[in-house]
A and B are shown apart, each in its own frame.
Chain A
């Protein structure tokens, strides 16, 4: 059972002053094994904060990030799952699931985590799952109106991943969960 926090688009301090207090009290160090962050933190302080929650921190670059050294995409393997990470402003049209599916095929991952639209999404398609954790601070987005602060916690257990989405709606934290199962067929590459 591996807990992975998917979080991003905080836009501190450009669009939001801080994480919502209720989220802060839930995110305590030592509980999470990995953090994957879609980007747009934007400052070092936020990076340090996330690092304090969990040393295994993976970030991709958002277009407002202060640190230009974050990679455009990242892939990592957690348990039986291959995860891909990308902020999403590079994938046009923004938020288009078919285009994101293409990126997923390109990165050859089971789960693609991307952001930019500030809207939570968990979408299963032929090649795998696309997850958008939304904006953890509910930051303004030109794409989405009425953004609720949200983040995602994935519980990876063998071939199964349970995706918990935490959303702050009208001052209350609401949790929803979605189950995904991966088929055990190994992907074979044929080299010609």
Chain B
């Protein structure tokens, strides 16, 4: 059925075109032979094709253009009075005899054009006559095209300032009046289409109306081009009249299009000065009109205007642009009760964008916009509409992007209130956006107060907000979130130790609410931040005079102790052990023996009670040994207790090779190469001998359990340790002992039953090479090594 209709339309169009062509042929003949009568006859017939009701706007336009072309030729003929011998005044009279009104009026307009050009009558009179006569065609489609024709031919003949048609009686006011009237009539016709004839399918009707809208809009364009329309005339005449028409037509399609047209066509400068009038029309529009897009367009244009011409910024303040826009938006939202929340938020986003571009320094304005948003959101449950949520995120992200210094955003009192209205998931997303902004801009947050505000904002990441079931969280996402928080902690910093301590305390307070899932991520960065503060305080001398409650290493160590303790709730013994050891080292550097001892105690307790995995034990014991080796703060008793524990645990590791290695590592506990370092040669040797016994036992065990002894690696390692202490001058380590060990290894290697291991062979070979090398050195070292073969 539909395709039939289209086919029919094609047919009618073809018929129409044929009709035009047919009559045009005869018209041309008449023109050539200067036969006015004939010309008029055939042109009228030609124009009759435009009387059709059968065509859609798109097709009608096709027909119209062909007629238009023909009328141009006719006009040229009319102009040339010599050719047809009729005065233009008479001609004007003559064409009115055409039979049907539509051809009559087209001809009249054509002659009118010539008439004005001839200047035999004031332009304004002719124009007025024409615009009124066109009232005779009330059919929307035909009328629109007719008036469009009128607009086209009159375009260059308006009595504008500086135009040749300006005269005593003819002023720009007349030009404006003409265009306004034509516009008003065209709009009425256009609106009438909505209600005309048989009920058409809504989509089809809308489509057809949209095809015609530019015809109406063109008038506004013409108005904007008239030189004589200055700001005053625009303000006093043009805009009020146009808006009157827009509001009174009560047609949704027309209102939306025309408001948009006004905004696009007239200069921004004018809009700025007529804001009140323009905005005043908005609440009067039909409730179904998408006012928010209109307002957004306006604000966008004004933002661009401000951006491109900074010198007009004072003008913005002068006309109180922000206040007017803000209140207009408020009125629109209040008037359109059914506006969905996403609409309101979108408006606020546009207003915020405007504010950030035009008045970035006015934080009070920015806060106001956020405040209006809060008001709109309050009283409702948390947002669930995803579109609205997206808009709120856009609203909150805008200040972050504008002010690369997050601290500025932190001062907006309404910012956290807006965030409160987001659902938990989005709240977290927004918190991540905030953190990323800080990281990207490398911002330092430097006071405890600001840190407090910041952590309030990101509280969705810091702790479980009510109603978030933990199992819903994706593990990867959760890790990413927490690692972001961890990174953030390093951005919180102040040179002043007192303030820094306050910051640390604030952070600690917040992360403690995070629960056992979050502590493993958040505690380490806090600990290291605190350790860095300790180191800084170490560098400072003496008392901080005048400070009420000075930051001291002791205080920080207390804090650290409590903080690391919280890891037991996770539980995270290995991590806690490492952190305790770090603190012990820091305490050592601060020369506070009891504190260092306490930390070591904690580490050992964890080792004893919590670290069960054998591999973990090996690493842990080496960390303990390594840390202990660097300690110089301990007195003899404390040191003895700790080294005894360390060696004890080393010997109790599960696997013999691990035992062996840990024990010879312990040998370093008794020899520190510093000036006042401990150099207990005997105990070193004891450790080395013990580790040798363990290595032997390991070999024997291998013999028994596997039938062949294992690789000699352990022996070679121990040999290297002997060499180490030999070189350092431990008198207990003699060249004879070393020689004995070398022989032992050689014997082992020649043992038939052993499994060959190229790695240990190479190790032994390179060790021997080293011995040779040292011998070659000569001097004291060479002498030392000489006895060894």
Contact = CB atoms under 8 A, between A and B. Distances in A.
A118 B77 CA distance: 95
Contact of A140 (B480, B531, B717, B720): B531
Contacts of A106: 713, 716-717, 720, 759, 763
A178 interface: no
B750 A190 contact: no
B601 interface: no
Given A92-B668, A140-B528, A145-B535, A105 B720 contact: yes
Nearest to B627: A142
Interface in B42-67: none
Contacts of A64: 524, 578
Nearest to B523: A14
B526 to A, nearest CB: 10
Contact of A190 (B619, B717, B721, B765): B765
A22 to B, nearest CB: 12
B177 interface: no
Contacts, number: 115
Interface string A15-32: 111100100000000000
Contact of B483 (A45, A94, A101, A105): A45
Interface string A96-118: 00110110011010000000000
Contacts of A16: 490
B517 interface: no
B767 interface: yes
A136 B476 CA distance: 25
Given A106-B716, A108-B766, A13 B487 contact: yes
Instruction: Specify which of B480, B483, B763 lies most central, judged by the most chain A CB atoms within 10 Å of its CB.
Output: B483
Interface in A136-150: 139-140, 142-143, 145
Interface residues of B, number: 55
A153 to B, nearest CB: 25
Contacts of B625: 92
A18 B717 contact: no
A44 B767 CA distance: 38
Chain A binding surface SS class: loop
Contacts of B480: 45
Interface in A1-17: 11-17
A139 B340 CA distance: 51
Contact of A98 (B665, B727, B761): B727
A127 B480 CA distance: 44
Which of under 10, 10 to 19, 20 to 34, or 35 or more describes the interface residues of A? 35 or more
B343 interface: no
Given A106-B763, A108-B759, A143-B630, A14 B525 contact: yes
Given A18-B439, A21-B442, A12 B665 contact: no
Interface string B760-789: 011101110110011000000000000000
B486 interface: yes
Interface string B208-221: 00000000000000
A135 to B, nearest CB: 12
A43 B479 CA distance: 10
B185 interface: no
B724 A17 contact: no
A64 B487 CA distance: 16
B758 interface: yes
B724 A102 contact: yes
A40 to B, nearest CB: 11
21 contacts: A17-B491, A44-B479, A63-B619, A89-B619, A89-B626, A92-B622, A93-B629, A93-B672, A102-B717, A102-B720, A126-B769, A126-B774, A127-B769, A140-B528, A140-B532, A142-B531, A142-B585, A145-B535, A189-B761, A191-B756, A192-B750
Interface of A: 11-18, 21, 43-45, 63-64, 89-90, 92-94, 98-99, 101-102, 105-106, 108, 126-127, 139-140, 142-143, 145, 187, 189-192
Interface of B: 439, 442, 479-480, 483-484, 486-488, 490-491, 521, 524-525, 528, 531-532, 535, 578, 582, 585-586, 619, 622-623, 625-627, 629-630, 665, 668, 672, 713, 716-717, 720-721, 724, 727, 749-750, 756, 758-759, 761-763, 765-767, 769-770, 773-774
